[in-house]
Amino acid sequence: MPVLRWPSFRRPLDVLFLVACILLTADVLVPEIWGHGKTKDYPLWYWAGQQILHGGDLYPHGPNDGFAFLYPPLSAILLALPSAFGKLPLYLGLCLLNAAAWWMTAQLSNAMTGSGKTPDPWLEALPGLVTIPFVFDMFDLGQPNLVLLAMMLFGFWCLWRGRGWLSGGMFALAAAIKVFPVAVLPYLLWRRHWTSAISMVAFLGVLLFLAPAPIRGFDRNVSELTTWYRGMIGSNSEHGFGQRDAQNWSWVNQSIIAVTHRLVRPVNYNQIDPAKPAQYMNVANVDYRTANWIVLAVFAAIGLGFIAIIPARANMTQRSIAEEVGILFCLMTLASPLARQYYFVWLFFPITVLFHRAALDGRPKARAISRLALGASFALMALSLPVFPKILQAAGNNIAATFVMVAALAWHILNPPPARDPHSTAQPRI
């Protein structure tokens, strides 16, 4: 199917997409125009852009002062130009960027499933429909995770077409904006995508150290980058990490790191709200250092399991590559130290792969497993609704949903279609 396609007013589902984008944009602009101003992260993005424009500091100088802006300096530099025109143009620009990312994520995801078939309009639209709650968070909060997902998908699309330098550049840009996509680098090295890996490292150096230099000055940029690293990456203790201690150990964070710590040591998962009584869910009582060793053991087990199921390079097919990258996106989401609800928008691609397997796989058992996995995952993710107790999120309902998808994708990798299937080809092309 064509990867790049403009929305068409002749296609009802495309019209529905445009209407949804208008409503989501209205959620951002209406409070700013007629209300008391849009809240969430939007004012912070405007502040960061203004700091760049006026030569102000992005991070505090005191070692004990908290950060308002949690991202590398490049992110603020990218916000500077649109913020020069005022809040409304900046907010509108971010909404349009999210809308474009949503559209491109859907198109790339449907084109990269390896099914070898063009989905009908409803199958093409289903992943976008079921992930609307996550997309709403992207617009409402002003977070860039959907944009990062589109970048990563485009990076893999380039990689599979032999454009290693371009793919590495896209991966680097995503990681320079918000660090967690850097987790793709070990995968590139393991799969021996040398050009893409070298390109990613080179572009990261350029984007983090050289690109900001003409605007901030080389020495100042290095100083700010060092301050950011110490405050975000190098700051962790049993009380918290990454400048948001109460949030990062509380129920809102469903990363493997946070959930493991809540399970093995007494961490108050209600600490994000001091007015509420402390609540715990630990089944063990180990110290902070031991908990970190348990986290490392969990990561090692997951990584070795991933390596064990993915096929050798000679046996890779269109289908297996899609399933493999679907698992990779799942694991990258969970491996991030912070995985709030909106982070799980990255499940868009694995959900799309499973929808294609559920509808287009020629084997009844494969279709049934895909449908069962999707149903179980959606049921688990629904436990995040406000009607359910917060302990279900503290225990990792979204993690459980993600691992259900991982298990289904792993089953597909280990049980490929018969070799006579025309789509079971060893050519890593879409």
- What pLDDT shows up at residue 186? 96
Residue with tokens 């025109």: 85
Rounded to 10 degrees, what is the CA torsion of 308, 310, 315, 318? 170
**Domain residues of the chain, as ranges?**
246-430
Phi and psi, residue 290, nearest 5°? -65, -40
- What pLDDT shows up at residue 1? 45
- What pLDDT shows up at residue 117? 83
- What pLDDT shows up at residue 274? 82
CB atoms within 10 A of CB 255: 23
Q: Give which of 117, 56, 94, 52 is closest to 361, Cα–Cα.
A: 117
Q: Does the pTM exceed 0.85?
A: yes
- As a whole number of Å, the end-to-end CA separation of the chain is 9
Q: In angstroms, rounded to a whole number, what is the distance separating the alpha carbons of residues 289 and 286?
A: 8
pLDDT tens-digit profile, the chain (430 residues): 456 788 988 999 999 999 999 999 999 999 999 999 898 999 999 999 999 999 999 998 766 677 888 899 999 999 999 999 999 999 999 999 999 999 999 999 999 999 888 889 999 999 999 999 999 999 999 999 999 999 999 999 999 999 999 999 999 999 999 999 999 999 999 999 999 999 999 999 999 999 999 999 999 999 999 988 888 877 677 776 766 666 788 999 999 999 999 999 999 999 888 888 899 999 999 999 999 999 999 999 999 999 999 999 889 999 999 999 999 999 999 999 889 999 999 999 999 999 999 999 999 999 999 999 999 999 999 999 999 999 999 999 999 999 999 999 999 999 999 876 545 544 444 3
- What pLDDT shows up at residue 242? 66
- What pLDDT shows up at residue 385? 94
- What pLDDT shows up at residue 230? 84
- What pLDDT shows up at residue 64? 65
Q: In angstroms, rounded to a whole number, what is the distance separating the alpha carbons of residues 181 and 164?
A: 17
